[in-house]
Amino acid sequence: MSSPILKLIAQRIALGVLLLFAVSVLIFTGTQILPGDVAQSILGQSATPEALANLRKELGLNEPAVVRYFSWLGGVMTGDLGTALTSRQEITTTLMPRLWNTLFLAFWAAVVSVPLAILLGLLAVRYRNGPIDKSISGFALASTSLPEFFIGYLLIYFFAVKLQWFPSISTVYDGMPFLDKLRAIVLPATALVLVVLAHMMRMTRAAILNVMQSAYIETAELKGLSALDIIRRHAFPNAIAPIVNVVMLNLAFLVVGVVVIEVIFVYPGMGQYLVDHVSKRDVPVVQAVGLIFATVYISLNIVADIAAIVANPRLRHPK
């Protein structure tokens, strides 16, 4: 791998680390300026001033914000996400099962949506401006027009209430049989697939059509190659960089953007965990979940940037 590529990769990683640090500052600042008193929300309205003062001292709320931020950041860098204020349990202990549940849901949604989006994009290009292309584009437009919560409620109404094929509440737990887990996540995974499928498909189609306008594609057509061979052997490999980029962005959404879907299906993942503790004003939990979401999103964006750099033939074969 040439030095220009390594330099660009190092710059992307350094920028990602700097961005993550900036996000941590925003997350901490945002949780500190929330209205209300943490000690008051824990002890209730009937708490005495002495009890409130003691709890604030115990929680370190009397310390300056800068001191509390660096104390929190130091703990995060050593793997200590802190202690939940409401349950007094280690956040790492209670958060990890939720994280695995979210990753499990996102993984199966990606397994279905990524190859299906690429296949539909290739079909749309192969039969562009024809009935198949228009049907796929119409489905994509309809899918992107519907908000995810509406898609979720439609799935529940038809497949859980009317047909009773799948449960409306997606409950999973440790030790649950694998097939039962898959059945439990069918509806939320389908909702996520419908949310990201259209975007990936449209970007795949646009990327391949952009390559199809190149001179070497015209040369391949003059050689008598079929449209399918031109797309498979020439257009798709040269359009892989933007396709990988949009796939990574949508994978990041599958992990970070599951909050609404998890709440609708009462799925025990990170999104549901976050909403539960926002209502309780459990600041350390909100900070931990927000930082994990930011880390996943930024990391997948870095992977997308690196893939685009490595796939760029001008960088791999400099003159």
Confidence tier at 216 by pLDDT (50, 70, 90) = low
8-17, 74-83, 186-195: the lowest-pLDDT one? 74-83
In this prediction, residue 172 has a pLDDT band, given cuts at 50, 70 and 90, of confident
Q: Is the Cβ–Cβ distance between 27 and 287 less than 8 Å? A: yes
235 contacts: CB under 8 Å, gap ≥ 6: 125, 208, 211, 212, 217
pLDDT at 94: 86
Question: Does the residue 72 lie in any domain?
Answer: no
User: Over the stretch 226-281, which tens digit does the pLDDT of each residue have?
Assistant: 767 777 666 666 667 777 777 887 888 887 778 888 888 888 888 888 888 877 77
Contacts of residue 251, Cβ cutoff 8 Å, sequence gap at least 6 = 106, 110, 114, 300
In a domain, 279, yes or no: yes
Is residue 2 assigned to a domain? no
- In-domain check, residue 162: yes
Query: Does the residue 82 lie in any domain?
Result: no
> How many domains does the chain divide into?
1
The chain-wide mean pLDDT, for the chain, equals 80
Distance CA 307, CA 97 (A): 30
Q: What is the mean pLDDT of residues 294-312?
A: 80
**Is 261 inside any structural domain?**
yes
pLDDT value for 253: 80
pLDDT digits (tens, 9 = 90+) for 116-136: 888 888 888 777 778 888 888
Which CATH number is 139's domain given? 1.10.3720.10
- For residue 116, being part of any structural domain is answered with yes
Q: What is the pLDDT of residues 56-88, one digit of tens each?
A: 776 666 677 788 788 888 888 888 887 787 777
Residue 244 counted as domain residue: yes
Give me the domain span that covers residue 123: 96-300
Dihedral, 45, 49, 52, 56 alpha carbons, nearest 10? 140
